Structure formats: C-alpha cells, structure tokens
Structure 1
C-alpha cells in the first residue's frame, strides 16, 4: 500500500490538537466534574486564541499577496515601457492599441495608434499569421531590415468590442544574420563542366585551316560570358571545359536564360552545322568533390537530352534550361558496333535474360523486345519478356505473336519475373531509362546486370548503375537502335518475318510514317528490315482504325481550342474506349492543320489525367510537359496528373504553355 496516502495524518494542524484536548477535557469532566469545568474554561481560551491567531495570519498573507501583486504589476509595466525590443499590442482586426518607442522608431517615429498593422506591414495580418497556432514565428522585411516576429494571442481581462483576444508581438532585428547567411550562400563554390556537343561533326565540316579559328571563337565566347564572375575556366580536353565560380552568379546566368547557348550558335566561319554546348553545374554538395560529381551527372543528363542544355543539380533538385534545337544525327555507327559487342558479351556471361519495357507497352517497346529476344535466342540463352497486360496499342501485334509457337511461354508477368531474377540475371530495359516508368520497378533492385537501350531525352531520375547504356536521342525509336545492334551482334543475322515487321512497325509509329525525327540511319534501318522480309501491307493493317475511333478523333479535332494562334488544346470525351490511343492519334491529326505548331490532347484514365503532346519541332513539348512532371522528346511528349479534375488539368497545361512561351520570348528579346 502506498504510504503517501497517510502523510496528511502527520501534518501538524491546530484543529487536530484542539480536538484531542476537547476529548481529554470531556473524559476529565466525567471523572472529576470541577476539574473538568476548569478544563473547559482553559479550552475556550485556547479556541479563542487560535481563531484570533488564524485571523491575523490570514490578514498578513493577504497583505503580502497584495504587496507582491503591486510589485509584479509595477515591474511588468516598467518592463513593457523600457523593453529594448520593438513591441506592439494589436486587436484581432489588426488595430494597434499600444506600442513601445523602439517599435515606433522602426516607422520613423510616427504616431501609430488606431492604425492597422497591415497598413504598415502587409505580412502581419493577424488572421493570416494565426493559422491555427497559438504562437507566432515569422520573418519579414521592413524598411530594408529583416525582422523575426515572435508573439502569441492572449486572452484579454475585459472583452473588447473587437474580440476576446489581443495579439502581442515583438520584433528581433536579424538583418546581420540574414545578410551573413546570404553571403555564405553566395560565396559557396559552384563547379561547372562545359562540353561541345558536336565536336567531331564540327571539325569534319570545316577546312583544316579554319578549325583553330573556330575553337578560338568558342573560347572567346566562353571567357567573355563568365569573365564578370571572377571565376576560373580551364580547357582540359579538346572539347571540355572546367568552370569554378561563386554561386551568386548562377542567378545572373539564369536571369539571362543562359545566353551562352545562343551566343555560340551565332559562330559562323564556314561550319555547316551550328555549335551547341552542354553545361552541367553542381552546387550545395557537402564537398567540392561532391559538387564535381554533381556536375558530371548533369553533363550525362544534358547529353542524354540531346545536348544544347544546361542542367543544374542543387543538392537533390535538378533544373533544366535550353533544349531548343533538334538532335543531330550521328554519321557513324561506331558506338552501335561497340554496344553490340558489349551486349553480346553480357548475354554470353548471363545464365538468363529478362527483357522489360515501360508501363503501358507500345509498339516501339514490344518490337524492340522481340529484336533483343532474337539476339538472346541466337546466343542459346533462356529469355523472357516481362509484360503484365495488353493494351489497345499492341493488341493486334500481340495477337500475332501469341499465335506463333516460337514464342510460347516467352511472356511472363512481374510476379514470375521476381521469382526468376537474381544477381546474375541480365535485365535489359527498353524504351525508357527511368526505374519508376518500367513495367516492374522492383526488378531493378534485384540484379546488378542492367542494360538500358532508349531514345528518349534523359531525365533526372535515370538508372545510374547500369552496366551498359545505349541512349541516343537522335534516333527515331528504340526499334531503330535495336535494328542497328542486330547487324553487329552476328555477321549474318536472320530475323523471322514477325520480328522484322514488329521492328519496322515500331519505327513507323514513332516517326509517324517516316515524317518526324527521320534521318538517314532511320531509312537504313528500315531498308535492312525490308530485306528481312517485312510486308508493309501487313504492318499497315496493324494500325487500322474502326469507324467509331475515326469519329472520336474527328470530334476531338473539331473541339480543339487554339492558343496563341499556334497551339491546339483539346479533350478526349470521357467513357471513350482506348482514350489514350485516340488522344495520341488526335494530337498527330491536329498537327496536320495549317498554322498549328503544337498540339495537346487530354484524356481521363481513372483518377489520372493523361496528356499527349505533339509538335513539328519548333515548340518543345517536352519542356512544357516537364513542368507538369512529364517528359519525352522535343516533338513527342506526355504527362500524367493524378487526383485532379480535367478542368484543373487544362488550366495547369495552359499555365505551363504560357510560362514556356514567356521564357522563349524573353530569350529572343
């Protein structure tokens, strides 16, 4: 039992003693009456004395408390009057009811009583800064000075007409700290790497005597661009520069939209192709070495996006600028041959190969998978293609594949793939470089042997630990890249007709019948496939639309809204079958209209709004949709917005278009 419960019994109390004495007097009276009477008289005296003593103590205690309250109130008033920090008392509507001299001095000694605090500082509206919190901590700028505003809401003794509470604020001048913090950020070291994208092609396009002059002109532009920073720029390879400067100048470069990208394009001393640069900046790493690694990663991303880009990594955040020029097709196939040899070695060393594309597989992805599947089968290795479900874009091709006994059991779902994969399994990822976009992102975590073959512009969340990456943004499609690899893996390659038609179909789809992103190597790849037995009529039949689909596409085109006389935006009606496929086809159809340079079509898939963007190349739809979390190519891109209505998605898209247009116009000015 807890002894603390009986502690009260041992506390000395006068009433307890008097009770004991009364009991003893009663007993004494019973035994000796007259002695008991004397006892009662003495007891009465003791009771009277105790009452008087208690009354006196109570008066002394009351007087002490009153004196203490007076001294505390006096000290409080004196503290408020002589408080060294700016202090103000407000009604809930912001009316100033009291302030001390330091607060008045902030505003030039003016009389501030009965004025509202918002008329002096708009950020200090009481209803906004309360935000459900009893205490306030806010940084504001007043007359070029920085203040940390602290305070809280206090219940008034007498309710005023304007509320039951008053707001008490005091201001801490932290200008020196803010300036020191800003100076610290400004003086951080930023590491930059600059690379001439098309160095080999530039040199080949010039006479020998003009090559030094071109390089000197590039050096002159770069040095002139960064000379005001007081930084260091050093050329450490024939086409690469190392750049060190203070971070505060990065904002100046950004304000001028990295004009160096356009300045070098103006260089013309006989070169047949324009000079373009890729620039990577690393900032806010823990060390200078980490900033350098950031810059290296940014260069990889810039080159993966086709060059003519500035990529900045600030901690974990990436920023992108540029990308207004088309990717230049590389003339030689040296890299394709090297990739083919390396891929052959990796296949030979692996016990099993898994091929995986992006989620919602398309014809380009499936055609490329069949091409790689043929390579692996010819090497005598076990191979499977990871595919969870069909969709309207591939159902015709997939139906033909499933009828062919050569591909019996080649398709497996994610669960089966997870059961088969191990550290030695070779995982070949096609038509995407982002783990989150793949058919089964979990597979990437279970193997160290990853190969990436893709033709999209690189994003910030690319697969960094791949043992082999073949990412060429100039290529029309993944099928084009796979077709080139096929020609170098073995001396004599024999494709089955279905495989050749699948690869050819992928090229046809991504080039819109050899219209967009079509180079010499695209036609060479198509020619090789044609020699392998492609039936062009059979390929054409894979993409035939029924009358209902054609009517839906026509309605989308008819209801399009034209923005800035050049950009079309339309919406696919809800409850339309194959909405995403129809939206993409409608966007392509809108580009056939006179004067339309870009088109966007939105569709709804569950709680996700899907945006398909297309352009003729003059407008970069990738940069527009990247503002909404999407990506793709300069002329073909897409985005998905979750948990948003179609109306809000349209507004977000329009804002992104306007923002992009303003950025382009400001650069051109």
Structure 2
C-alpha cells in the first residue's frame, strides 16, 4: 500500500512511459556491451559485469532517495498551498458568499461577517431579500463590471456561477478618489448675450452703464455662488471656467440662470436672453474651448435662449426655460422664417430660385421645394438650371421632371432668366450663400431683392443686402430646412407632388450619405414627411446608381492617397484629366469610411483653367476653415473650393501648407 501511495505521489513526468522506455534502452545497451565484452575478453566482460551491477545498485539507491525527497517536497508544497487557500479565504479583505440552489446564503467568510456587523444574521436568507441589486448582478453575471453599494461601502462584484459563489472586493477608497477626480475635472464654457446689441441700441450711455452694472452684479453673485470664474471677453460674450461638480449642480437647477436673467431684465422692459455652450472631457483646454464654442454656435443656431452641455465624444444635453426649448425654438424659428418668406414672395412680381453651380440633388430638391411654396401662394416662379452642367444623378432627375409638365414648365436656363428678371423680382439662393457659386450670379445685380436659405456655415463672402437669411449650419441639408417651412404655408394652392418630394428626399439622402452623417432628429422628421407625401425611395436609388467609368475614376483617385499627417489624407487626379465635381465629392466620402482617416481632401481638375478641392471631415477637423483659407468655404465637415490658373501639383503643396499651419 505504501508503494502505491509513493507511486501515486510521483509527478506525472516520472510515470511517463517514454521516460521508462529511455531508461530500459540505456540498461539494455549496457547489458549488450557487457555480453560483447565477454565474447571478446573474459576479463573485460567480468569488469563490465561488475560495473553494470554497481550501476544498477547506485541508480536504484539514488532513485529511491530522489523520489522520497521529491514526494516530501510535493506533500509540503501541497500543504502550504491548501493552508494558504484557507488563510486567504478567511483573512483576506474580500467578501465571499456561497448560495444554495434556491439562491439562499449558505455561508459567508469571516471578513464579510465583520462588514455586515450592523445587519442581522443573513444565513439562510434569500439573496434577493438581503440585497436586490446584488441579486440582479448574480442573476445576470454577463456584466463583468458590476459595482454595488452595501453598508456604506462600494464593492466590485465577481460571480462564479458554477459553484454559486459571489466575491465582493471593497473598492470604496478607489471609488471615492475617482469621484473626487470626476468632480474636479475642468469645464470650459462660453456665455453669450443673444440680443445685447438690440437692447442697448436704444439706450443712452447712462442706461447702458446701468444695464451693464446690473448684469455684472448678477453674474458676480452667480459666479460666487457656483464657484465659477468668469471673464467678460467683449460686450456680449463671457468666458467661463468651473469644475464638473458645479456643472452637475447647474444641470440639476436646469440652468435657471436663463430664466432668471430673462425675468429680471423683462421687469426693466429690456428682455435679455442668453445662450451658453459648455464642454468637458479628456481634452486640452484649447480643445475644450473649441468644443464649447461649437456648443454655443449650436445653441445660437437653435434660436438662442438655451444652454448646451457636451462631453467629448458624447451626445449634447439641452437646457432652456420651463418648457422644452429645443422643440419650441425650432418651431418658432421655422414659422417666423416661413412667414417672412411668404411676405417677400407676395410682395414680388416674379420669383427666381437657383442653387449653386454643378447642382447636386440637395440644391435641385431645395429649389423645387421653394418653387412649390411660391406656387402654393399663386406666384409666378422659375427654377434656374444650367442643363449643360449637371451630374449624372441630377441629369436623370431632370428627365423624370420632364414627365411632370406642371413642374417642368417652371425650369429655365440662366440666359432666359437674365432676360426675364426685373428689379422688383425676388431671387432665392438655396444651398449656398456666396454669389460667386451661383448658377447665374448676374441675376443678383438685376434686382434689389434676394434671400438666402442654406445649411453651410456663413463665410466672409456673402450676398449683398439680403432681405432674409435662413442659415442653419447644423441642419443636414437645405432640403430639410425647406421641408420644415411647408407646415406654415397655406394649403389653398396645389400641394407638393411626388417628383418634388422625391427630389427633396434625394437631397437629404445625398447630403447625409444615406443618413450616416450630420443626421439629427429633425432630419428624420423631414424625411418622414416627404415619404408621407409620395417621395419615391426606389427612384432615388435609381438616380444614385453610378456609371462604371465614374466608379473606375474614383478607384484611380483613391489609389493616389497620401497622408499629410495623422488622420489627414489627400488624393489627387492627374493634371490633364477633367473630373466631375460629384466624382471628387464621392471619392472624399469614400476616403472618410477608411480606417485612420479623419479628414479627406480630393484635388482634381474641373476644367482647362480650374482645379477644385472637395473636403470632408468626420468632425474633429474643421475643413471649412481650411477651405476658406484657399478661397472656398462650406460646412464644418463638408467644404470645397475652386482655384484658377494653377496646376494640381501646385495646389497639393499649397493645401499641405495650409493644413499644417491650421492644425499646428
């Protein structure tokens, strides 16, 4: 029996048949050599036999000693391991609960007993009754990062379902440190006085001074109450610096400073509204300030009188008055724009609507939408389209429009428009605000009345003396903006028809890249409305089908990609080949879908004398600013420019310099 115990105690590698086979062969070889020695010389064989016997005796004794010592070591190690397990189970600062099949507590270690000293005996009690949150963690152990609070302590929960065990690690100290860190994280903000200039315009110096004094007193008290550092940057703008804990407090108060300022100034018959943009997160102060400015821009774009808070890589949170400011402000602004536009149309002899050169579906769809509003008001309207400068998808759409006489009769060429327009006629620019980009810029010089509806950020160059401006940079498309205006138009005229709805929905689809970019809740609302009035999604898919040659052109452009710096890619065509604007834009969109590309620039020759750049971004890099420095413009994430008199290679070098200067 002892031999059996010893054998069972041996390590597996000593009982390995291959090891035994090696030993057997070694002994067999020595035995064969001994026999051969006897054959050769008797005395040599005798010596070899003696050595063989001595080897067997030594090997046997040493093997027994080695195995005995090895067994003792293993037994001692096993004892120490088991003793350590027992000590750890009892003394380590980790709570352990064992449950039975009915999820009742069968056993808990001494450490857990000391932690639950204030609690009655929990043995035999159902876990759900003792701690409901812990029971939910145990029931759904797929979540590996469960934290619970129990007896004023915070535990990290680990579940071992196969043995019905729960391990609780006390992380109270670390959780407290993390909470303090989160509370102390900096928050950067901008506060803007929306209508300060309008309010103070009618006041004398004394009145302005008194008004400013009232604001200074209020902001000083507010800043001191919430631990906010503020600095007046200009007459209507303040810089804010606070921590996350105070931001949480402001959010719990629903930023009541907005209502308080409005109420206090209204008592003086000087109703002032304010907007705030705040940001926080794992970024440098300059990045936080930039994000805060973007939040302020968004607040102002939504009509002001509200606050927008946004963490880095998170969704924005909106705060305003006692009602939902986001929805209320959007409706009010759309209604005001719609009513103002209708008044301008009613006061005009004729209305001319035009998009930008080389129009896309958004420009055409928005133009048709404005034209439909004019027709609903029983006004004479024309849509200016250059039939010689159309992309494939727009050309297909124009062929479909020819089947609808009521719509097609209003489409005229730029030359015909120049002949018919008069000084009292209204020109409506859609999907752009720079005259140089218009299909027929000369129309603006022949009339004193024009208005702008656009979703691109306003640049330095702008239409002269517009009577109405509706620029919403955070809308997905101009077609979306036009769709919202239909709600406030009289229904006496013929309503929007299927081809117009299809064109407008196509514009939204193209500008959002199939609802994947710059898409908000308003975008889907607009798309839903257009679908309900007959927009044909199947037709849109047919319009957007690509010509094989254009696809190959895009592939060749993508082959030329080079990275200027991390995340910024440039593709270019050769200097002799002329590419269509849509091909360049689609190539830039395709590049954005590639890993590691945050901003994409595609440089191609558009005509014998002109080279164009299509710029796209996922939002971290402002391509609008870069394009503005090269004479263009657009949106934060969607911009372009056209340059005359230079080669593609020259513009590539110029673009690289601008990108590096801007990002540095």
The normalised TM-score by structure 1 is: 0.53
Note the C-alpha offset of 1:448.
2.5
SS at match of 1:518: coil
Note the C-alpha offset of 1:368.
0.5
SS at match of 1:474: coil
Note the C-alpha offset of 1:604.
0.5
Note the C-alpha offset of 1:594.
1.1
Matching residue within 631, 634, 643 for 1:632: 634
Q: Which residue of 2 aligns with 1:335?
A: 333
Q: Which residue of 2 aligns with 1:185?
A: none
Q: Which residue of 2 aligns with 1:467?
A: 467
CA distance in 2, matches of 1:630, 1:261: 33
Note the C-alpha offset of 1:383.
1.0
CA distance in 1, matches of 2:361, 2:225: 42
In structure 2, the gaps of 5 or more residues are 1-189, 197-217, 256-289, 298-311, 319-325
CA RMSD of aligned residues (A): 3.7
Q: Which residue of 2 aligns with 1:561?
A: 562
CA distance in 2, matches of 1:198, 1:375: 31
Matching residue within 335, 342, 352 for 1:354: 352
CA distance in 1, matches of 2:566, 2:240: 28
CA distance in 2, matches of 1:586, 1:218: 53
Note the C-alpha offset of 1:563.
2.4
SS at match of 1:500: helix
Aligned positions of 1:242-257 closer than 5 A: none
CA contact (8 A) 2:554 2:587 kept: yes
The Cα offsets for residues 423-456 of structure 1, whole Å up to 9 and x where unpaired, read as 2212111111122221222221222221211111
Q: Is 1:441–2:420 an aligned residue pair?
A: no
Note the C-alpha offset of 1:416.
2.2
Aligned positions of 1:295-314 closer than 5 A: none
CA contact (8 A) 2:229 2:240 kept: no
Query: Aligned residue pairs: how many?
Result: 390
CA distance in 1, matches of 2:433, 2:427: 13
Q: Which residue of 2 aligns with 1:268?
A: 247
Note the C-alpha offset of 1:220.
9.1
In structure 1, the gaps of 5 or more residues are 1-192, 200-210, 227-232, 235-239, 244-259, 276-301, 310-323, 663-669
CA contact (8 A) 1:214 1:269 kept: no
CA contact (8 A) 1:430 1:478 kept: yes
Relative to structure 1, the CA distance from residue 262 to residue 535 in structure 2 (aligned partners, 3 Å threshold; closer, same or farther) is farther
Which deviates further from its counterpart, 367-376 or 408-417?
408-417
Q: Which residue of 2 aligns with 1:380?
A: 378
CA distance in 2, matches of 1:529, 1:214: 50
Q: Is 1:617–2:619 an aligned residue pair?
A: yes
Note the C-alpha offset of 1:637.
0.5
SS at match of 1:603: strand
CA contact (8 A) 1:197 1:308 kept: no
Note the C-alpha offset of 1:194.
7.8
Note the C-alpha offset of 1:558.
2.5
SS at match of 1:268: helix
CA distance in 1, matches of 2:479, 2:396: 18
CA contact (8 A) 1:476 1:518 kept: yes
Q: Is 1:546–2:539 an aligned residue pair?
A: no
CA contact (8 A) 1:217 1:267 kept: no
Q: Which residue of 1 aligns with 2:654?
A: 652
Note the C-alpha offset of 1:338.
1.1
CA contact (8 A) 1:306 1:473 kept: no
CA contact (8 A) 2:355 2:439 kept: yes
Q: Which residue of 1 aligns with 2:407?
A: 407
Q: Is 1:478–2:457 an aligned residue pair?
A: no
CA contact (8 A) 1:572 1:579 kept: no
CA contact (8 A) 2:386 2:439 kept: yes
CA distance in 2, matches of 1:328, 1:652: 39
SS at match of 1:394: helix
CA contact (8 A) 1:504 1:534 kept: yes
CA contact (8 A) 2:584 2:614 kept: yes
Which deviates further from its counterpart, 539-548 or 609-618?
539-548
